Amino acid sequence: MLNLTGTYECKMDAKGRLMLPTALKKQLAPELQDGFVVKRAVFNACLELYPMAQWDLLMQRMNKLNRFNKKNNDFIRKFTAGVKLVEIDTAGRLLVPKDLMAFAKLEKEIVLSSAINIVEIWDKESYENIIAAGSEDFADQAQDVMGDIMDIPDGLS
């Protein structure tokens, strides 16, 4: 099970390449040879970088959707719109496709944020704005989302 940790700032060059920070590259080392999928996020103007194994698991779930149901078919089309296969080059750089750069409004200052088993790719200003927005409501959100989970065997709370 992949469990990525950390938020990293980096710079994107004029060609749309960004150097993966060493700490993140070490966490992704087992995934580097299989490649990645990068796509538009569903809820925010950022990108999601899926290690191929994680993408395959997600596609297994999506393959269970009945494509003869219009809502399912429309969802699949929108979810996979703009999906690209990408690799990390020998210098440790990721080339972000231009259409996806435009979607996420990526310029020079970038934030790579781990999101459990994927990496979100954000424009730095957009990331800071989304983190700051509603910060006073985060405690309530944490309680709503995590407050009823009681079956954690390690007893952490």
- How would residue 18 be classed by pLDDT, with cut points 50, 70 and 90? very high
- Look at residue 153 and tell me whether its pLDDT is greater than 70: no
Residue 152: band (very low, low, confident or very high) from pLDDT cuts 50, 70, 90: low
- Residue 8, CB half-sphere, CA atoms under 13 Å: how many? 21
Give the H/E segment covering residue 151: none
Place of tokens 């393959």: 63
Q: Model confidence over 21-79: pLDDT tens digits?
A: 999 999 999 899 999 999 999 999 999 999 999 999 999 999 999 999 999 999 999 99
The CATH number of the domain covering residues in 7-146: 3.40.1550.20
pLDDT one-digit tens code per residue, 88-115: 999 999 999 999 999 999 999 999 999 9
CA-closest candidate to residue 46, choices 115, 106, 99: 106
pTM for this entry: 0.89
Identify the helix (H) or strand (E) that includes residue 35.
none
Q: Could you tell me the residue ranges of all domains in the chain?
A: 7-146
Which candidate, 58, 37, 57, places its Cα nearest to that of 47? 37
